[in-house]
Amino acid sequence: MSATRSRGSCSRAKPRPLPLRRPRPPHAPSPHSPKARRLAQEKGVDINSLRGSGPGGEILADDILAAARESESGDGATQPLESGRHPTLTPTIGRLMAERTTQSWTTVPHFFVTRDVDAGALNDARERERSRNAKVTHTDLLVALVARTLGKHPRLNASWERGEVVTHPDVNVALAIGVENAVVTAVIPRADRAAIGDIATRRRELTERAQAGRLQPADITGATFTISNLGMFDVDAFTAIIVPPQAAILAVGAIADRVVAVNGQPAVRPMLSMTLSCDHRVASGVQAAEFMRDLANAIRSPQL
């Protein structure tokens, strides 16, 4: 116990009781209706961060719309936080992507298989298609070859659903498309049966709609396998996160000249690196390796 001593006196003074500090109550969100919450979700507004202007502080539609306008104008992005950082207003699609990738990475047992392949024949095939006035890209060719290879490997064209492996009769290949601050996956249905020109047309239409924010539900549902191609950004190789409930996703790097051994001699060849991410509940390492072997053979000798 502490004591105080008065100047010029030896008597002990009674200790003063310290004032009690009560914890501040946590911030409670302003009241709002289910309709207001739905509107906030549609507009990408965090309703718990708003102060309502209605009776009793209730959040009204006007409060949400004003916050959405502020977000679009960028005014809200310059307000500093107490820590000195600046908030980044994330659109709904970005938050959804963050939630789904986190869920996939933390709940799906991923494993990875990487394969390098000579892409000289793939380059030749693209030039042949372009000579016919077809605006065909490497991605279009890979969609066709991947889809046809999946027909021989049903475990890679499958899903993990309610504790069971479900194989799919159709091969619907999704493409990862970059939009502002996020990625969406748009689907080319029955790609194993589609002509290369039809695949190219569909890919262009999906890309245009995605970047304009006009994708329809039919454009983004039903995928059984996904391809993510970062080769156009000169990325050599990478790994991608599976899109549940799909069993696999193929990450494609750039085609680049490398020195490799050809018939025991060094040669410069256009090489392509691919990494397959698999759900170990659905496919084994052997099944993934066999798929990559057959895909590499198809790329070395494309039949379109």
Give the DSSP per-residue string, 8-32: T--PBPPPPPPPPPPPPPPPPPPP-
Q: Are residues 124 and 271 in the same domain?
A: yes
- Within 8 A by CB and 6+ apart from 164, the residues are none
Q: Are residues 145 and 205 in the same domain?
A: yes
Assign residue 136 a region: left if phi > 0, alpha if psi is -120 to 50, beta otherwise? beta
Percentage of the chain lying above the pLDDT 90 cut: 61
Q: Are residues 53 and 180 in the same domain?
A: no
Average pLDDT, the chain: 84
Domain count, the chain: 2
* Report for 39-53, 91-105, 256-270: range of highest mean pLDDT: 256-270
- Residue 208: how many CB atoms within 10 A of its CB? 12
Give the domain-ending residue among 17, 41, 76.
76
Domain carrying residue 259: 96-300
- Round to whole Å and give the CA distance between 191 and 198: 9
Residue 18 lies in a domain: no
DSSP 173: E
Q: What CATH number does the domain containing 63 carry? A: 4.10.320.10
- Round to whole Å and give the CA distance between 112 and 280: 10
Mean pLDDT over 52-77 rounds to 67
Residue 15 lies in a domain: no
Q: Are residues 115 and 173 in the same domain?
A: yes
Q: What's phi and psi for 61, nearest 5 deg? A: -60, -40
Q: Are residues 171 and 223 in the same domain?
A: yes
Residue 136 lies in a domain: yes
- Round to whole Å and give the CA distance between 120 and 301: 9
Residue 278 lies in a domain: yes
Q: Are residues 165 and 46 in the same domain?
A: no
Q: What's phi and psi for 14, nearest 5 deg? A: -70, 135
Residue 2 lies in a domain: no
pLDDT digits (tens, 9 = 90+) for 176-223: 999 887 899 999 999 999 999 999 999 999 999 999 989 999 999 999
Residues 112 and 273: beta-carbon distance below 8 Å: no
Q: What CATH number does the domain containing 159 carry? A: 3.30.559.10
